[in-house]
Structure 1
Amino acid sequence: MSAFKSLYFTLLPYLCFIPVGYILSKNKIIPKAYINKPLLFLFLPILVIDKVLEANVSNIAILAVISFSLSFLMLGPAVFVHRKLESHLNINILKSSYAYFNVAFFGIPVVTALFGEEGITVLICIYIGSALYGNILGYIQVAKSRFTTREAVREVFKVPFIYAISLAVILKVFQVEPPEILGSITSVLSVVVSVAGMTIIGMSLTTIKFRSVSWKYYARILGVRVLAAILIVSGLLCLEYILIDGLNSEDRQVMALISLFPIAVNLAVFASFLRSWEEEAALLILFSTVMSLVLVPAGAMLLQYLTEQGVL
C-alpha cells in the first residue's frame, strides 16, 4: 500500500489542475493557445535538449530503441480495435492514443515516487525514443485527421522538436556540457510542463457531454491498449535479454511500467494546436490516467515481488 500512497501524494498536485483548466476554459478566462503554444514552441524543446545531454549513451541505445519500437508496434492493436469494435473515433487519433505514452509528464513524478531520483536517468532514455516517435510519426498521425498526408508531413516541420533533437544530438556528439543554470531551469520547467499539460486536458473537457459518453466503449478501447502494451513490452524486453542483456533490474522495471502509463498529454496538445478531435483526445487521456493511477502502483508492487524472487 505504500506504493499507492507515495504515488498519489506525488501526483495529486498535478491532477488538481485538470479541474482548474476546466474552469478556465468554461468561463473563457484564458484561451487554450496561451498554454499549448508555449508548450510546443518553448518549454518542450528546452526539456528535450536537457534530457538528451543528461542521458547515458549506452542506455539510450537500448531503452530509446525499445520505447520507439513499443510506440510503433502499438499501431497494430489500434487498427485491430478500429475494425473489430467499429470505432467511431478517427483512425489516426486512435493510432496516436495507442502509441503515445506519458513518459515525461506522468512518468517523472511516478518514477520519483516509486524509484527515487535514480530512476529519472532511466526514464530520460526511454523518453527520447518515445518523444522521437510522438513528435514526428505521431504528430503526422494526428495531423492526418485534419490534413492530407502531404500537408501533414509539412505540418511536422512546424514542430520545434525536430530542431531541438537535432541540436541536442549535435551537442551530445561534441560532448558539450550544459551550463549549470540549465539544470535549475529545466527542473522548474518539468513542473510547469506537467501542470500545463493537465490544465490543457481540463480545458478540452468543457464541450464533452459526460452523460452521453459510452464509458463501456472507452473502457474496452483502453483495456485492449493496456493488454497489448504489456505483451509488446514483455516481448521486447525478452528479446533484449536474449540478444544483448545490457539492462539491469531497475531498467527493466521502469520499462515494464511504461506499458501501464496513460496516453501522453501530447495528444491533447497536438489536437488542440491542430483543432482536430480535441474532446475525444482529452477524454481518452483522462480515462487512461484514471486507469493508470490504479494499474501503475499495482504493477510496481508485482515487479518488486518478481525482483525479490530473482525473476527480474
Structure 2
Amino acid sequence: MPIILGIESSCDDTSAAICINGKICSNVIANQLIHKHYGGVVPELASRVHQQNIVPVVHQAISIAKVHKNDIDAIAFTRGPGLLGSLLVGTSFAKGFALANTIPLIEVNHMQAHILAHFIDEPKPSFPFLCLTVSGGHTQIVLVKDYFDMEIVGQTTDDAAGEAFDKTAKILGLPYPGGPLIDKYAAEGDHLAFKFPEPQIPGLDFSFSGLKTSILYFVRDELKKNPGFLENRINDVCASVQHRIVTILLNKLKKAARQFQISDIAIAGGVSANSGLRKSLLEVAGENNWNVFIPKFEYCTDNAAMIAMAGYYKFLKSDFVSQEVAPMARMVF
C-alpha cells in the first residue's frame, strides 16, 4: 500500500498531496495573489513565494491525510515544463525530503500529470483515448495509449488557448487572471454578436496568434467609433471570443477522433475548467456518440494530486530518478 507525496510548483501555485494506494487523501494548494498587481506571473516573485509556502503546504497535506512523514514511501515532483525558478524550489525540496527520509525520488512531466488526473476519480477512460490538454502554456491533442505511452498528435504552432484568453482579457482591461472573468462575462453575452476568424491550419495543429491580433484590432476600431463600447458590450465580446476559441479546439478534436476512430475523449489543463468549453464538449459528444471525461475543477488547474497520481503509477514500475536530476523548463513526453 504505497504512500506517495506529490509536489507541484511549476508556475505560481504551491501544492502538495498525499496518494495512498492510488487514492488521493489530501490536496492542498496555496495561490499567489501578489501577481494580480502586475497583470501576470512574475517568475522571480513566484519562486520566492514558493519558498515561503512549500513547507506549510506539505505539512498540511500530510496532516489532512493523517499519515506521518516516516510513512511516506516515495516523493513525486514536477520536473517540468514550467518556470525554472519555481521548478527549482519544488525539485530542491523533493530531493532534500527524499534524501532525509531515505525514500525514492520520482520525476513527473507536468502535462502528462494533467492527463493522469483522469485516474483520480471514477469514471476513468479506457486506453486508447484522446485528451485535449489546454492551459496557459500548452494546447495539445494527445493520443493516450497507456499511463506513460502518450503521443502528441496535434499542438499549437504559436500561442496557447489559455494565453489567448488571458491576452484577450488584458485587451479588454480585465484584471489578472482574466481567463475566468471572460468565462463569467460570456455566460451573460451573445456568442453570435461578433464574428472572429478561425485559423486555417492543416492537420491537427492549432494557431491562436492571428486570433489575438484580430481581437486587438476589433476592439481598437470599435473604441474609436464608440468610447463606451466595452462598457456596453463586454458580455457579448467575451461570449464571441470564447465561442471562437472553443470552436477552434473542438473542430480539431472532432477531426482527431475521426482520424484515429476513437470515441473516448478527455480534456485536461487549466482551460478545461472553462464552462463554455465543458458545455460545448458535452454537446459535441452527444452528436458524435463520444464518451467524455472531464476532471473535477480542483484537478484542472495546477495541483499536486495529479502529480501524486502520476507518481503512484511510476512507483508501481519502480521508475525512480537519482539525486542528480535537475528541473527542465521545457520538457516533452
> Do the two structures share a fold, i.e. TM-score over 0.5?
no
* Higher RCO, 1 vs 2 (CA within 8 Å, ≥6 residues apart): 1
TM-score by length of 2: 0.27
Q: Write 1 or 2 for the structure with the bigger share of strand.
A: 2
Between Structure 1 and Structure 2, the one with more helix by share is: 1
TM-score (norm 1): 0.28
